[in-house]
Structure 1
Amino acid sequence: MEVQMRKFSITVAILASLLVAQPSLAQPTAGQINVSGQGEIAAVPDVATISLGVNTEARNAAEALKANNKATAAVLALLVDQGIAAKDMQTSNLSLNPVWDRRKSNDSRPKIAGYQVNNTVSVRVRDLPKLGEILDQVVSAGANVFHGLQFGTTQTADLRNQARKAAVRDARAKAELYADAAGVKLGRLISLSESSGHSPRPMMRMEAMAADSVPIATGEIGININVNMVYEIAD
């Protein structure tokens, strides 16, 4: 009798679980519309970062370093005179290396002919109309290596948010278009994700800043954001 009761209890439990699971199995999966959207905002740069260096050579390390210190100090003093704040100037690299004499001789081993010192400084220029003039003058002051120039904006966060809104609008418009073309009704938003956006990048718009100094084309920078959105198809 006890065995029969156990069998009966097990049977009831199995039937109960099947009855609970049955409604969920009967529910069809709702259709979905997957779309992507892109938002791009263009802006005129308001800041530039230049990387310049002072390279000096001498027969011994002390002389090379002394000459470099003097030239670099002159460059930094000029930048201060041009209104560059101390927080916008930073030494990004300082190196001291031997200069090898590789001319062939009876002794096959290369000899040290002198020493070379390179001091690289990263400078942020906020007054862009003066950029060409600053480049001219730092060369005259002693900067003899130019590593590059990059334009940017101090409004990156705000521009990225604008691009995000544009990307969502773009994706929403696509979803509505697809729903209309398919003859269905667009339902609720199920998910939204942002894929990796691009950092501020230059866009073509040539515009010289000063005719009597180094010609600089500021152009525009673009902030790009991509989003992926999933909508449910309404009943």
Structure 2
Amino acid sequence: MPKTLLPLALAAAIALPGFARAADPLPPPRIIVSGEGEASAAPDLAVLSLSVMREAKTARAALDAGNDAMAAVIAAMKSAGIEDRDLQTGGLQINPRYNYTNKPDGNQEAELVAYQVTNTLTVRIRNIDKTGELLDKAVSLGVNQGGGISFSNEDPSKTLTEARKKAVADAMAKARTLAEAAGVSVGRVLEIVDQNMAPMPMPMSAKSFDSARAAVPVEAGENSYKVQVNVTFELK
């Protein structure tokens, strides 16, 4: 190639990619809408959080007292039909307790008066009709603190599927409404992003344990599963 033509060839080679990019088709117009769906199901699993707190002059004595009380609770749960897989220690805490007195110089003097031991047990109850009975039995055996009760579903997949269908239908209806208002029509679906929200547990305060009677009234109600989807549609 003659030397005089070499700069022109190089310039053309550099310019060609720019022409190729300019020729690329523009992405089709699109719209992103969100849809929500909700479905409910009766729970089939109850989860209890039961705690035994014992106090003594020494940590050893407090731990022994807590161990004895919790062992009785675990034995009662097993005798009521709760399987080993549904019993789990949720925590063990040993804390000193101090009394503080004010001194004449304005400082405080700490005096160790006792040790507190708290042992927590998580119990999954698959026959939720027995929840009140088991709670009463646990309190009778020495449970004096608790995180609460929650009701859930062991397999919520069918309920979530129903909620997802409702969420997608809601998104499609919104997209058609918006497109019609803009004078266009909805095309194919380009993307769907799923965001499901689990139901919140239903708490029961520790004060409820103090007033537990022969049969603690427990109502499981229903769990509501909410799903939100973000759907991207092509516009025509």
Q: Deviation of residue 28 (structure 1)?
A: 5.0
> Which moved further from structure 2: 107-116 or 75-84?
107-116
Q: Residues 201 and 223 of structure 1 are in contact (CA less than 8 Å); yes or no, is this contact kept in structure 2? A: no
Counterparts in 2 of 1:20 and 1:101: CA distance versus 1, 3 Å = closer
Q: 2:81 aligns with which of 77, 83, 106?
A: 83
* 2:70 counterpart of 1:72: yes
Question: Is the partner of 2:219 in helix, strand or coil?
Answer: coil
2:176 corresponds in structure 1 to: 176
Question: For 1:101 and 1:15, how far apart are their aligned partners in 2?
Answer: 84
Q: Secondary structure at the match of 2:198?
A: strand
The offset of 1:29, in angstroms, is 4.5
CA distance in 1, matches of 2:194, 2:4: 60
1:201 aligned partner: 200
Distance 1:224 1:135, change over 3 A: same
CA shift, 1:184, in A, is 2.2
Q: Using the TM superposition, give the Cα deviation of residue 104 of structure 1 relative to its aligned residue in structure 2, in angstroms.
A: 5.8
| Aligned AA (2:46) | A
Alignment map for 1:127-142 (pairs within 5 Å): 127-142=127-142
**Partners of 2:102 and 2:15 in 1: CA distance:** 95
Q: Is 1:124 the counterpart of 2:124 in the alignment?
A: yes
Q: 2: distance between equivalents of 1:55 and 1:18?
A: 75
- Provide closer, same or farther for how the CA distance between residues 75 and 14 of structure 1 changes in structure 2, counting only shifts above 3 A: closer
**Structure 2: which amino acid aligns with 1:221?**
N
Structure 2: segments with no counterpart, 5+ residues: 203-212
* Counterpart position of 1:156: 156
CA deviation profile, 1:134-190 (whole Å, cap 9, x unmatched): 111111111111221111111233333332222112212222232333332221212
SS in structure 2 at match of 1:69: helix
Is contact 1:90-1:123 (8 Å) kept? yes
Does the aligned pair in 1 maintain the 2:189–2:232 contact within 8 Å? yes
Structure 1 gap ranges (5+): 204-210
Could you tell me whether the CA contact under 8 Å between 1:60 and 1:115 is conserved in 2?
yes
> What is the CA–CA distance in structure 1 between the aligned matches of 2:54 and 2:201, rounded to whole Å?
33
Given residue 165 of structure 2, which amino acid in structure 1 is its aligned partner?
K
- 8 Å Cα contact 2:99-2:112 kept in structure 1: yes
The Cα of 1:59 is off from its aligned counterpart by 1.9
Q: Which moved more, 1:120-129 or 1:157-166?
A: 157-166
Describe the superposition over 1:80-130 as per-residue Cα deviations: whole angstroms up to 9, x where unpaired.
122111111111111222222335689963222222211111111111111
Distance in 2, Cα, partners of 1:63 & 1:115 = 9
